[in-house]
Structure 1
């Protein structure tokens, strides 16, 4: 089979190589998936660079989430049945940018019927992260104001849709007019192009001076620092990631004086700390997809041969919504 592999760390276009490798065999408790679609994520670039918290042995295949069809099961696996359409995170070093991938059977979830393969592949990580961040960590309530950074990106676009589904008023911050159009189409009540305006002033005006009740921040850096200037009394800042490349150093005296909370979110921890919560959230997301309340924004569906370029584009921050590779 064909699979992209990283033989040495570096920039995705430089180190990802399309190889011919044997089809993997599922071991005990595993299933082999025929990959139908693999979503591209920022962590894929970090894996290529050797900067992710997980560092698989070289060579490895990137691609951290997928929609696939169950092809074969290892010893001790009683389900799901071959031919079942499922979604799953990858089990590195054998990632999703390949024709087949082996994953733990316990971690696969049914692909929502309301979503096609590319949309289903892009659902798992971004929307689970959004669900846990907004509901479990921040306890977002109807009528509250949600500020979403990178609102037209993969993680941010999911948060915009989930915020609207929860009854919140959503302010989306983006970089550029094309991304502003995308965020508005996703349902954001107010969109601020950070290249053309000050989101702090915009949030204060939009809320009558109160500020944002919840800030959803996958960017870090200056986005986080300025968010502290427009977070509301008893507001919550959800720290999701640092795509800016800069990890903020919070001024805890400021959090004390303004009475707001800083909440960390590492979604992957739920798999070990509270694994039952993940399928429960998936059912909620499946129901929202069936109602049409959420649908991943897919900006491009690309052949497997273009995976390296797709990872590089996501790393450069030039994309809108999600890029999906379809082997």
Structure 2
């Protein structure tokens, strides 16, 4: 089979090469998925760069999520029921940027027929992260402000739409002033740009001196520090990434006197604490919100696997339009209107 492989960590557009490799065979409790499509997420490219929290042994193939059809099951009863089914392929080890991937049967989630391939490919990482942080970890109440950085990302846009549905207010932070209009049109209650002045001052003008009590940040460094300093008393900041590889600066006296808190969120850890019935209910919740147009991904360009270099360059481009997909097979469900 063909797979995108990297032999060393580095710039994804340079170190990723499509190679012929042995087609994997499923072991006990595993299934093999004939991959249809997989997105290019920041977590995938950070693995290739050697900047992710958990790194694979080399050589390796990226790709934590995607959509495909189970074509073979290893020894064991449960996997056999999945053969022939189109599934969300959750690959915690990575490896979905290939024509075939082997995963535990529990990580192959059957999909409703009305979820198109492009949405199915992006079904897990962003939608579940958004839902988990907002509804389960922070449990943002109706009428409260949620402050979020990287608001123009696919996940950020999902949270803006979730806010409109659930009744909490979104205060978005972007780098470029020209990015504000799109988020306002999408339904954000307020948008500020870090290029237009200190973020905490802009936030206070909108929320008042009390400041927001809920915030999320995937950036860290100066941007994450600004988000933290914008919090009101008793505020909570959930950090779900570190795109800059720089620390958030927290003043201990401020932390104590304002009773604020900073906590980390990693989807893999959070999901491992869910029961199988709980995970099934979560996936049904995500599917329903995708149908409503709340957690649907804004999909941009799609590239064949052998153009993986072009795909990762497009995914890294500033101001790109939508999530970039890699397509391995034409079989599946096409996009629907």
Provide TM-score, normalisation by structure 1: 0.91
Partner of 1:16: 16
Aligned-partner Cα distance in 2 for 1:132–1:315: 26
Aligned-partner Cα distance in 1 for 2:139–2:86: 32
> 1:10-54, CA deviations, whole angstroms, 9 ceiling, x for partnerless residues?
111121011012222111111111111101111222211222222
Partner of 1:139: 139
> 1:161-215, CA deviations, whole angstroms, 9 ceiling, x for partnerless residues?
3333321111122233564344334321222232345432332222233322211
Task: Specify the SS of the correspondent of 1:233.
Answer: coil
Gaps of 5+ in 2: 329-337
Contact 2:33 2:89 (8 Å CA) reproduced: no
Provide TM-score, normalisation by structure 2: 0.88
The structure-2 alpha-carbon separation of the partners of 1:86 and 1:181, relative to structure 1 and needing over 3 Å to count, comes to farther
Residue 318 (structure 2) pairs with residue 302 (structure 1):
no
Residue 105 (structure 2) pairs with residue 105 (structure 1):
yes
The structure-2 alpha-carbon separation of the partners of 1:214 and 1:321, relative to structure 1 and needing over 3 Å to count, comes to farther
Partner of 1:292: 293
Task: Specify the SS of the correspondent of 1:26.
Answer: coil
Task: Specify the SS of the correspondent of 1:284.
Answer: helix
Partner of 1:126: 126
The structure-2 alpha-carbon separation of the partners of 1:99 and 1:29, relative to structure 1 and needing over 3 Å to count, comes to same
Aligned-partner Cα distance in 1 for 2:301–2:316: 15
Task: Specify the SS of the correspondent of 1:231.
Answer: coil
User: How many residues end up aligned between the 2 structures?
Assistant: 326
Contact 1:153 1:320 (8 Å CA) reproduced: no
Contact 2:68 2:86 (8 Å CA) reproduced: yes
Partner of 2:84: 83
Residue 281 (structure 2) pairs with residue 280 (structure 1):
yes
Gaps of 5+ in 1: none
Contact 1:112 1:289 (8 Å CA) reproduced: no
The structure-2 alpha-carbon separation of the partners of 1:200 and 1:25, relative to structure 1 and needing over 3 Å to count, comes to same
The structure-2 alpha-carbon separation of the partners of 1:298 and 1:184, relative to structure 1 and needing over 3 Å to count, comes to farther
1:160-179, aligned counterparts within 5 Å? 160-176=160-176, 179=179
Partner of 2:331: none
Contact 2:38 2:97 (8 Å CA) reproduced: yes
Task: Specify the SS of the correspondent of 1:132.
Answer: helix
Aligned-partner Cα distance in 1 for 2:112–2:145: 29
The structure-2 alpha-carbon separation of the partners of 1:225 and 1:152, relative to structure 1 and needing over 3 Å to count, comes to same
The root-mean-square deviation of aligned C-alpha atoms, in Å, is 2.2
Aligned-partner Cα distance in 2 for 1:229–1:91: 34
Residue 247 (structure 2) pairs with residue 247 (structure 1):
yes
Aligned-partner Cα distance in 2 for 1:29–1:60: 22
Aligned-partner Cα distance in 2 for 1:177–1:250: 27
The structure-2 alpha-carbon separation of the partners of 1:258 and 1:323, relative to structure 1 and needing over 3 Å to count, comes to same
Partner of 1:28: 28
Contact 1:156 1:218 (8 Å CA) reproduced: no
Task: Specify the SS of the correspondent of 2:229.
Answer: coil
Task: Specify the SS of the correspondent of 2:37.
Answer: strand
The structure-2 alpha-carbon separation of the partners of 1:238 and 1:91, relative to structure 1 and needing over 3 Å to count, comes to closer
Aligned-partner Cα distance in 1 for 2:44–2:34: 20
> 1:300-322, CA deviations, whole angstroms, 9 ceiling, x for partnerless residues?
22222232333344456554542
Aligned-partner Cα distance in 2 for 1:134–1:272: 18
Partner of 2:335: none
Aligned-partner Cα distance in 2 for 1:139–1:205: 25
